[in-house]
């Protein structure tokens, strides 16, 4: 109703006011100050949950007797539970020693495989990757990770307001070539968890590798708007089902799932939570740096398509844009880079992540990077897209990575980059 009044008078909603027995809405007239409109005392207070400020006036609308921040804005988005699923099947670099690789123009790569694999390992840092068993898929892995996160958080799953599932390829049954997203993977997880509450909204997001982090940002936005209080945010992928085995880039990708429960907690009850975030999409020249294309194998069916990547362009894009987005995120939180204890970067490529860190510190005029600032698990788990950061966070939280731990009060920075091209970063206090 407030918005309809605003539209009728060409106003922008600014704030709401309680005066005596009347609800009054202070509306900003375009380019012309403010106007008060009395509406009556029949409005439920929840109507005003979208506003940032509640101003309480005396009966005569003289001076405000109190100016209160809206309760929905006075919450912290806190991670209360984490979980992950790491598939049991290990594929080492040695497993590719007999594989024939071809270039984009379908020419067989004549370099000995030992050299191909060695150079690949030197650039990416990947020694092993995990593939899901034949009877497992993305939603199945996600369900396991989600169950662990829910148990750790201590909440009743029926209390969840949203299940947000980040992925890019849906469920792909082993041996098939179809992406299955009907119903949505979030709906499948909600079904698998046995959540009956119809007010728990389940939906998927496709945002490239930054998808899980974008789900976290969406949850934070819903919390601040007063729309939700508890969300399950999942990132899961079975990339082994969509790779072209004749493409050297196929060695990068792996499978896995990570999940987090996030809750809106009163700001006066905790110091933990999201401090700021930044997001960007570059979709002109960059839109098809990652795409679906035919196999590199000569004579392959062009109707069957696989994940493809313009690796050099992705690398250059990340070097140019990701550090700037990370700095923007820290600046929004008014956090010094010297106060950051850990930086969780999407596990895409070891050399790329190391370059991003160096450029981030260089933006602050710093050459020395703190030891153990950037946890990594890409060496053993490869690039599982949306699952890399939540999996890495879960491992560090639970003391599963040497030289890495997290304590209450620690400030961490999350950052990711991927298809779109999309970038995001989140500053968070543990």
Question: If residue 425 lies in a helix (H) or strand (E), which one and from where to where?
Answer: strand 422-429
- Per-residue model confidence (pLDDT) at position 98: 85
- Per-residue model confidence (pLDDT) at position 255: 98
- Furthest-apart CA pair in the chain: how many Å? 86
Strand pairing category for 290-294 and 305-309: antiparallel
Tokens of 22: 């009347």
Tokens of 221: 């936005």
- Per-residue model confidence (pLDDT) at position 73: 61
- Rounded Cα–Cα distance for residues 198 and 200 (Å): 5
- Per-residue model confidence (pLDDT) at position 13: 38
Stated pTM of the model: 0.82
Fold of 273-429: Peroxisomal Thiolase; Chain A, domain 1 (3.40.47)
State whether the Cα torsion 348-349-355-357 is positive or negative. Answer: positive
What contacts 408, CB < 8 A, 6 or more positions away? 272, 430
CATH of domain 75-269: 3.40.47.10
Q: Are the CB atoms for 149 and 387 separated by under 8 Å?
A: no
Which tens digit of pLDDT belongs to each residue from 261-279?
Answer: 999 999 999 999 999 999 9
Concatenate the DSSP letters of all residues of 30-65 into one string: TTS-EEEEEEETT--GGGGTT-SEEEEE-TTS-SEE
Calculate the CA 291 to chain-centre distance. 20
Q: How far apart are the first and last CA of the chain?
A: 40
Cα–Cα distance list, 57 to 21, 48, 74, 187, 360 (Å): 11, 16, 21, 46, 48
The helix/strand/coil state of 238 is strand
Chain position carrying tokens 């150079």: 119
Beta strands in 282-368 (DSSP E): 290-294, 305-309, 340-345
- Rounded Cα–Cα distance for residues 218 and 162 (Å): 10
Domain ranges of the chain: 2-72, 75-269, 273-429
Q: Any bridge partners for residue 302, and if so which?
A: none
Tokens of 316: 């250059």
- Per-residue model confidence (pLDDT) at position 176: 83
Q: Do domains 75-269 and 273-429 have the same CATH topology?
A: yes
- Rounded Cα–Cα distance for residues 392 and 346 (Å): 9
Q: Are the CB atoms for 173 and 387 separated by under 8 Å?
A: no
- Rounded Cα–Cα distance for residues 28 and 419 (Å): 40
Chain position carrying tokens 């779109």: 420
Concatenate the DSSP letters of all residues of 122-164 into one string: HHH--SEEEE--TT--HHHHHHHHHHHHHHHHT--GGG-SEEE
169: nearest Cα among 317, 82, 84, 291? 291
Beta strands in 157-284 (DSSP E): 162-166, 201-205, 230-238, 255-266, 273-281
Chain position carrying tokens 């085995």: 245
Residues with pLDDT less than 70, the chain? 1-73
């Amino acid at each position: 109703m407030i918005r309809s009044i605003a539209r009728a008078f060409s106003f922008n909603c600014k704030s709401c006011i309680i005066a005596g027995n009347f609800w009054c809405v202070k509306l900003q007239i375009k380019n012309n100050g403010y106007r008060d409109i009395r509406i009556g005392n029949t409005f439920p207070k929840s109507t005003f949950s979208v506003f940032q400020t509640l101003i309480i006036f005396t009966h005569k609308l003289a001076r405000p007797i109190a100016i209160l921040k809206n309760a929905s804005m006075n919450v912290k988005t806190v991670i209360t539970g984490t979980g992950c699923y790491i598939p049991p099947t290990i594929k080492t670099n040695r497993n590719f020693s007999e594989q024939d690789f071809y270039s984009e123009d379908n020419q067989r790569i004549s370099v000995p495989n030992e050299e191909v694999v060695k150079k690949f390992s030197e650039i990416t840092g990947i020694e092993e990757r995990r593939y899901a068993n034949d009877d497992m898929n993305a939603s199945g892995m996600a369900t396991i990770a989600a169950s662990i996160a829910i148990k750790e958080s201590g909440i009743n799953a029926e209390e969840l307001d949203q299940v947000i599932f980040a992925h890019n390829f849906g469920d792909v049954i082993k041996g098939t070539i179809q992406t299955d997203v009907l119903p949505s993977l979030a709906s499948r997880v909600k079904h698998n968890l046995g959540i009956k509450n119809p007010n728990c909204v389940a939906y998927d997001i496709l945002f490239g590798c930054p998808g899980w982090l974008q789900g976290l940002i969406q949850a934070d936005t819903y919390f601040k708007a007063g729309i939700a209080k508890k969300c399950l945010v999942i990132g899961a992928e079975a990339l082994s089902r969509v790779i072209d085995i004749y493409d050297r880039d196929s060695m990068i990708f792996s499978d896995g799932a990570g999940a987090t429960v996030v809750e809106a907690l009163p700001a006066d009850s905790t110091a933990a939570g999201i401090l700021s975030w930044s997001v960007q999409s570059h979709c002109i020249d960059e839109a098809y740096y990652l795409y679906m294309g035919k196999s590199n194998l000569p004579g392959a069916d062009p109707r069957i398509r696989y994940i493809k990547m313009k690796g050099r362009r992705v690398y250059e894009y990340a070097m140019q844009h990701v550090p700037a987005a990370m700095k923007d995120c820290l600046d929004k939180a008014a956090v010094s880079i010297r106060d950051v204890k850990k930086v969780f970067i999407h596990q895409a490529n070891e050399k790329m992540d190391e370059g991003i860190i160096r450029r981030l510190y260089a933006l602050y005029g710093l050459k020395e990077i703190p030891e153990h600032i950037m946890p990594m698990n890409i060496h053993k788990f490869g690039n599982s897209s949306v699952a890399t950061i939540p999996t890495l966070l879960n491992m560090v939280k639970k003391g599963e990575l040497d030289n890495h731990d997290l304590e209450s009060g620690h400030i961490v920075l999350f950052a990711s980059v991927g298809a779109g091209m999309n970038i995001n970063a989140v500053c968070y206090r543990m």
